[in-house]
């Protein structure tokens, strides 16, 4: 029994079909990898945007608290000193100035 190797039309078509299938699998793997990388990049960008949004929110809240403290205590104390500079009962006016409890939420 002798085996003679020759290229037939059926063999050639099978070889071409195998090459086409291999190329299709490689293209699909590359496409899936690219889509996964794009999803990971989008998720990372969304997480960074959320972190920046939280930082801005905290900074804004701290800014409002600082402004509230200035309006409540510092500005009124400056006016108290300016008005009491010409009066003799300066010490009594300072004793009368109380500071109420102010919750700091941030």
- The whole-angstrom distance between residue 100's C-alpha and the CA centroid of its chain comes to 37
Domain boundaries, the chain: 16-96
Mean pLDDT for 49-77 is 85
Work out the number of other CB atoms within 10 angstroms of the CB of residue 90.
Answer: 14
| Structure confidence at residue 26 (pLDDT) | 97
| Distance, CA of 21 to CA of 27 (rounded, Å) | 10
- What are the pLDDT digits (tens) for 4-45? 878 789 989 999 999 999 999 999 999 999 999 999 999 999
Tell me if 69 sits within 8 A of 105, measured CB to CB. Answer: no
79 contacts 93 by C-beta, under 8 angstroms: no
| Cα–Cα distance measured from residue 86 to residue 69, given in angstroms and rounded to the nearest whole number | 26
């Amino acid at each position: 029994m002798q085996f003679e190797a020759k290229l037939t039309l059926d063999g050639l078509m099978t070889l071409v079909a195998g090459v086409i299938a291999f190329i299709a699998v490689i293209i699909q793997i590359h496409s899936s990898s690219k889509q996964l990388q794009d999803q990971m990049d989008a998720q990372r960008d969304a997480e960074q945007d959320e972190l920046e949004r939280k930082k801005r929110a905290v900074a804004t809240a701290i800014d409002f608290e600082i402004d509230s403290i200035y309006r409540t205590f510092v500005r009124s104390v400056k006016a108290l000193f300016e008005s009491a500079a010409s009066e003799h009962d300066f010490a009594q006016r300072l004793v009368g100035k109380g500071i109420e409890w102010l919750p700091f939420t941030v």
